[in-house]
Structure 1
């Protein structure tokens, strides 16, 4: 079998000779998940012509690396036979206490390149190496007088709902048990969660826009984190549409423009996973056809957007105390499952999948509403307003995908659910939701099962 060609990647780097660039790469590997540098190898993975590995070269290199890094790293040093030429191999494992510096600078390995760390990344990497997080540290500027014990009482009540083993301690004892205060000193998490007054560090800018540059309404919230979730959702409800579906039951059914449970999940994630060491604000921008959520702080380097969407990752809480307290209050069901629930909710609603992305110095989520398609005036009036009293079921504003499916059925009465899913970009489950609306509004009916067809009423 042919030998696998050497190539640079997240754990391998080629250098034609030993220079400071070798030390930089080893530092990046030590701050990431380890790696090796092959010295005497060109960018194509071939030995450099004329390169000679002396008898003392490896030891000199090791000493140089030791003296130029802080804390000192001592790599393993070996030689490798590459196409008949001896080249040097310097390798390091992930360093237990991070970050490691080279000439006062800090690097990490990202794919096949070295990336210099920002101050926030340096602090976060240091905290993670001690299995802790920023929010667990004492806030020297805050005292117990800055906390609202009434808010702690409400947290206890929320946490005890439906529990066989409820919390029965007084508020200060609960704060101590959850390590939100230590020796009467307030942690960052304790202040964020139960602040008596405004928390400027947690400000979220809210806006309703008619165009990207024209704002119709705005609000800044800077409350404790539990209250912020409700205030943000309240502002969203104020500026999105709601319809009522009369199904014949005594109580009419509400349908918001977006699945509210999914929006709650997004807002909760914003509040819980925000980088509070970053001076930037979170923001929610509501437009006619979409909502944009932005939060300071990228995804961890160990999680890609693709892994996030595939639900193929191990959850990491940037603010461990905040996350644990939200989970105790039953506002987080399970770590790492929120993205899946958001996707499922939008799919069941028949809406386009939300967009998740690292953006500038943070993370952005964009959710999309239905948009009206070009349908004839009769269909627009019938589907968009009221079908008629004789039907006994009224659909408010049903637009977008429902109308698109209706048009497809008019064009091809033999069309299947699977074909409708392909045409609209929905799942079969999403198609069935819109078919149900069309049936209940007496727009269509089904004749036969397998091999049957649709009829326009």
Structure 2
């Protein structure tokens, strides 16, 4: 790590006032803290991170320094090599920082086939941690087993179900499944009889006695009533009356409560019907008019529900947990047991070519099982489900879903609001800004709804590239609509304080941005000034000065002394033209 990067990290920690998910600070005045072992393990099991020793978080991240930095470095390296399994090899450096010596260790994330990382002294069950927020959380034994299972391709969907056979399959689903197999994949299935085809598809497998029985995946995809063998492998839907759940004042626990059972195709159909029954319609501004749409796009809901049912953990430890759909007035969440599998991460969800299936055989079967009453299969198995979900939400002008990946669970939450509804468009118009792009309007709408923005989130939500995102965010800062907190990779954006009342709730206002022409012209009254000098004189940001200089140049009131107007050192002067309001 370079000294400049360390300085940036500490500045941002001081700004935020606490540790963050990928940076942990410890004072370490009495030697290497024992808790460092948990942090090292947690970083290795999560996304990697940076451990800084010699900063005092309790004193505002001041540099307390280390008595013997060389020994601290040696002790930390020994801990990583001898006390942790598998051994870690972090990059450890000693830095001169604000007159003291501090130690910085950069710990990479372990690949899936080497997790879990754990403390040898505590053992795998008690000594495995992950990073959650700014702390380290011990994993349960079930979560540890999931990490072990994820080292390879899980085969729980191919497990035999004792006491089952062909009679446990739904004849209609089997007929439709085999017909599609023989049509779409004739080389593999065209000449096989029904039993042989079901075996090849792993819907039928051989038990210990050599008999043909249904596999877990085969039963879930094609079974008459899988819950006879797995009572909790189903879907529950609960519609709560308040954002917190039950209504404590009225005693109303829920608005609707439904259990969807049967094979996965039937569960998907019934779950979508239930959600639709509980949804309302809303108006969305589109072009010059409005259209009525459902609260949540059905295509997005279908993909979320199918993904939850197909990619859930099917190990024996998880078969007592159902897929859950929870509807609240302000959001809808779909949750399943088992986190993301393989190379897929929260950040890469929806990227082209990024796909991984925990239940590969189940997924392959459902490729050729139609939804009841439809010619479309339950899933495509093309890695396009998340992209379909995102595109449906974008088309509805809604915020993108929030994905939460934990070792034992995965959830997707859809906010219940449109980004560019009538009220938001009225608010945007009230700002009095001209020339805002559609992507900038979407960014402002996200911030107005209480969301957060960084460069990556802005790109994801608006579908612009990194260069355009950077330019548009800078323009929003220049217009004094948005303020930046932190720098570089730490940069975050929020609405300008002038748009927020004391309560923190966004309100509609008239044009609230001051006209900065007069301030710039007054600063140039004494002669030529550079952009940097103008920012210092006026107290405005560099981006805001550049914004108003551009306007004044277009109006003919100011001119640059050279052509390089993007250079902060370029000097500007007033022209002979008189600004409006200066006459007389």
Q: TM-score scaled to structure 1, two decimals?
A: 0.60
Aligned to 1:373: none
Superposed counterparts of 1:89-128, under 5 Å: 94=110, 96-102=113-119, 103-104=122-123, 105-109=127-131, 113-128=135-150
Larger CA deviation: 337-346 vs 202-211:
202-211
Task: Give the Cα separation in 2 of the matches to 1:274 and 1:323.
Answer: 11
Contact 1:176 1:182 in 2 (8 A): yes
Q: How does 1:79-98 map to 2 (within 5 A)?
A: 80-83=93-96, 94=110, 96-98=113-115
Quick check: 2:233–2:320 contact (8 Å CA) kept in 1? no
* CA distance in 1: counterparts of 2:340 and 2:351, whole angstroms: 15
- The reply on whether 1:135 has 2:156 as its aligned counterpart is yes
Q: CA deviation at 1:191?
A: 3.2
CA distance in 1, matches of 2:90, 2:437: 59
2:233 counterpart (202, 227, 248)? 202
Contact 2:90/2:108 (<8 A) preserved: no
Deviation at 1:155, TM superposition (A): 2.1
User: Is 1:21 paired with 2:35?
Assistant: yes
Instruction: Give the SS at the match of 2:305.
Output: helix
| CA deviations over 1:36-57 (Å, ceiling 9, x no partner) | 756x6435596834225359x8
Q: Any conservation in 2 of the 1:18–1:61 contact (CA below 8 Å)? A: no
Q: Against the structure 1 CA distance between its residues 25 and 187, is the aligned structure 2 distance closer, same or farther, given a 3 Å change threshold? A: farther
Pair 1:281 & 2:322 matched: yes
Q: Are residue 221 (structure 1) and residue 260 (structure 2) matched? A: yes
User: What is the CA–CA distance in structure 2 between the aligned matches of 1:195 and 1:272, rounded to whole Å?
Assistant: 15
CA contact (8 A) 1:147 1:196 kept: yes
Deviates more, 1:137-146 or 1:152-161: 137-146
Aligned pairs for 1:283-322 (under 5 A) are 283-284=324-325, 292-297=332-337, 300=340, 308=349, 311=351, 314-322=354-362
1:167-210 deviation digits (Å, cap 9, x = unpaired): 33334433433445543465432332233324222222235677
Deviations 1:134-177 (A, max 9, x none): 63462565643684163433322344566665733334433433
Which stretch shifts more, 293-302 or 168-177? 293-302
Task: Tell me if structure 2 keeps the 8 A contact 1:58–1:78.
Answer: no
Residue 363 (structure 2) aligns with? 323
Residue 356 (structure 1) aligns with = 402
Deviation string, structure 1 residues 382-401 (Cα, Å, up to 9, x no partner)? xxxxxxxxxxxxxxxxxx96
- Quote the Cα distance in structure 2 between the aligned partners of 1:93 and 1:257: 39
State the alpha-carbon separation in 2 of the partners of residues 34 and 207 from structure 1: 37
* Residue range with higher mean Cα deviation, 257-266 or 297-306: 297-306
> For residues 351 and 109 of structure 1, what CA distance do their matches in structure 2 show?
33
1:237 is displaced (CA, Å) by 5.0
Deviates more, 1:83-92 or 1:195-204: 83-92
User: Which aligned pairs between 1:237-276 and structure 2 lie closer than 5 A?
Assistant: 259-276=297-314
Distance 1:344 1:90 in 2: 37
**How well do the aligned residues superpose, as a CA RMSD in angstroms?**
5.3
1:176 to 194, 199, 216: 199
CA deviation after TM superposition for structure 1 residue 3, in Å: 3.1
Contact 1:124 1:133 in 2 (8 A): no
The 1:205–1:265 alpha-carbon spacing in structure 2 relative to 1, beyond 3 Å, is: same
Tell me the distance in 2 between the aligned counterparts of 1:196 and 1:54: 66
What is the match of residue 233 of structure 1? 272
User: Is the alpha carbon distance of 1:93 and 1:305 closer, same or farther for their aligned partners in structure 2, counting shifts above 3 Å?
Assistant: closer
**CA drift at 1:106:** 0.8
Quote the residue 2:414 is aligned against.
Answer: 366
Counterparts in 2 of 1:426-441, with a 5 A limit? Answer: none
Q: Is 1:332 aligned to 2:379, yes or no? A: yes
What residue is the counterpart of 1:144 in the other structure?
165
Provide the rounded CA distance (Å) in 1 between the counterparts of 2:87 and 2:323.
42
The question of 1:153 aligning with 2:175 is answered yes
Are residues 11 and 73 of structure 1, via their aligned partners in 2, closer, same or farther at CA, if it must alter by over 3 Å?
Answer: farther
Asked if the contact 1:134/1:188 (under 8 Å) is kept, the reply is: no
Deviation at 1:112, TM superposition (A): 6.0
Inter-partner Cα distance in structure 1 for 2:102 and 2:300 = 58
Structure 2 equivalent of residue 74 of structure 1: 87
CA distance in 1, matches of 2:422, 2:40: 57
Instruction: State the match for 1:48 in structure 2.
Output: 65
In the alignment, is the contact (CA less than 8 A) between 2:160 and 2:205 conserved in 1? no
Distance (whole Å) between structure 1 residues aligned to residue 402 and residue 47 of structure 2 = 26
- Going from structure 1 to structure 2, the CA distance change for 1:294 and 1:278 (only over 3 Å counts) comes to farther
225-234 vs 205-214, which moves further: 205-214
Q: Secondary structure at the match of 2:4?
A: coil
1:341 aligns with 2:388: yes
CA offset digits 1:105-134 (Å, max 9, x no partner)? 2113457643322334322211111x2136
Q: Which moved further from structure 2: 196-205 or 215-224? A: 215-224
